[in-house]
Amino acid sequence: MKVSIRKFQKEDIKKKVEWINNPENNRYLHYDLPLEYEKTLDWFEKNKDRTDRYDAVIECGGEAVGLIGLLSVDRKNSKAEYYISMGETSVKRKGVAFRASRLLLDYAFLTLRLNKVYAYTEIDNVPFQRLAESLGFLREGVLKADIYSRGSYVDRIVYGMSVRDFLSRRGGTPVGFFGNLGENRLYVKREDLIPFSFGGNKARKAKLFFEEVDGGGFDCVVTYGSGSSNHCRVVANMCAQRGLDCVVISPLEASERTFNSVLMDEFGARIICVPVSEVHDTIEKTLAELRSSGKNPFFIQGGGHGDTGTRAYRECYDEIKSYEAENNLFFDYIFFASGTGTTQAGLVCGQLIYGDDRKIVGISVARKNPYGRNVVLDSVRSFLKDAPEEAIQASTHFVDGYVGGGYGTYGDKIKNTVRRVMVKYGIPLDSTYTGKAFCGMEEYVKSNGISGKNILFIHTGGTPLFFDFLRGTHNI
């Protein structure tokens, strides 16, 4: 279930009153009970425009389920106090508080750029202490007889988290400085180093898809893609790891043997090759057959397209923000290979959420405009239901000028780029995705006269394709 947080609104007052008055929730809260609607409305009207606090509502699957926020936002000392109070008892103990708190900490450290977040908790509020510690808060000390509550003086524990600790826990794939690109500074984010099945953006997406598979009682996975698909290789590996059946529907026109297809065989995936025009019907038929034989299949769209894939790169955007905050720099441009556009959609969603003024440029590896860009727009709209249309349009740069002869085709320019990058940086690119994107980025930067900027190239993976490239260029 998707967990999100948003600003507290007038319409939430009724729920707040109900939650706070529930004895299962208010043991450690300090309100004059029972809380009344009129008083709470007063509180809301008085406080709604204050900038020294942030009151938010936790939503789970679109339903309001609790309260969270920051108090005493102190700009001078760059710190704030974190609070959380779950309201709906049905969602307790399901990790919702943890996920909501992570979102709040993102807001505190990445949007407000605070230096410290702290929290107080009564000495016997063990559930909160567990939550704080699992989030990475450090126990800083005990304040003796700190408050008067329900007839006695009680000790409180104070927890704290610094921006350094927050950032170092976030981690993410490494980012390296690679020197100059024209008059610009070039950085590369190594998604190819995600530690599963040769990594890549399909590994980041698959991790989230398989959280759904693991949580939903599914016993097999169906997906589709070509014989050179990184997505199908990672999905087949994920299935094999769990002992789940994996069915890959593959278009006959693109079912040549590659290192990825050999790996799929190695993982025991069942590959069904049909003409591309029959792929859609074959998927439906396969799913129906599996269901009628008593199986419960999980279907993943080709390339890991869809809201879950978008979420993977929405989260990657947070990693980029963390890197920037930690290193005190800002990427003016972000380039990468765009295929189904899911990676791009996730990054654009991140940009829209934070309101960052930068250019995210997807270099198309196959699709032409307007189709290619429209798919990205649709993915963004689907993921961020209330983002303004002008902002979505303004943030979506899908460049189709470097697709050459189409998907998988390449000429000498790309061949030379792959060789040059391997020699100069020791990084394998491939001729279908990352080589094309790198080459496209270099030309884009030159032809648009970009200089004096920080540029991030996202290496989206595809390492097995590098070996196909070697085999193709050396007749192995």
Ligand X SMILES: *Cc1c(COP(=O)(O)O)cnc(C)c1O
Binding residues for ligand X, per CB under 6 A? 200-202, 230, 303, 337-344, 433-434, 460-462
Burial class (CB in 10 A: 0-12, 13-18, 19+), 447: exposed
Report the alpha-carbon distance of residue 377 to residue 385 in Å, rounded.
12
What residue has token string 């509550």?
A: 149
Q: Least CB distance from residue 361 to ligand X, whole Å? A: 13
Angstrom CA distances, 216 to 39, 213, 237, stand at 43, 5, 19
Q: What is the helix (H) or strand (E) element at residue 250, kind and residue range?
A: strand 245-251
Report the alpha-carbon distance of residue 190 to residue 208 in Å, rounded.
19
| Helices 96-106, 126-135: inter-axial angle, 10-degree rounding | 50
Nearer Cβ to ligand X (172/339): 339
Quick check: 432 and 465 in contact, CB under 8 A?
yes
Nearer Cβ to ligand X (125/409): 409
Report the alpha-carbon distance of residue 254 to residue 89 in Å, rounded.
51
Nearer Cβ to ligand X (341/408): 341
Nearest Cα residue to 232 out of 213, 252, 259, 193:
259
Q: Strand, coil or helix: what is 426? A: coil
Count CB atoms within 10 A of the CB of residue 171: 9
Nearer Cβ to ligand X (190/202): 202
> Pairing relation of β-strands 333-338 and 359-364?
parallel
Nearest Cα residue to 191 out of 382, 404, 437:
437
186 has which bridge partners?
179, 455
The two structure tokens encoding residue 314: 């929405």
Distance of CA 30 to the CA centre of its chain: 36
Nearer Cβ to ligand X (129/342): 342
Nearer Cβ to ligand X (12/191): 191
Nearer Cβ to ligand X (97/188): 188
Nearer Cβ to ligand X (135/361): 361
Q: Least CB distance from residue 182 to ligand X, whole Å? A: 23
Nearer Cβ to ligand X (67/456): 456
- Count of alpha carbons within 13 Å of 279, Cβ hemisphere only? 19
Nearer Cβ to ligand X (86/363): 363
Q: Least CB distance from residue 476 to ligand X, whole Å? A: 21
Q: Least CB distance from residue 377 to ligand X, whole Å? A: 13
- In one-letter notation, the amino acid at residue 360 is I
What residue has token string 């800083």?
A: 140
Q: What is the helix (H) or strand (E) element at residue 185, kind and residue range?
A: strand 184-190
Quick check: 100 and 84 in contact, CB under 8 A?
yes
Report the alpha-carbon distance of residue 296 to residue 238 in Å, rounded.
17
Sign of the Cα pseudo-torsion (426, 196, 238, 211, in order): negative
Nearer Cβ to ligand X (87/339): 339
Backbone angles phi, psi at 243, to 5 degrees: 70, 30
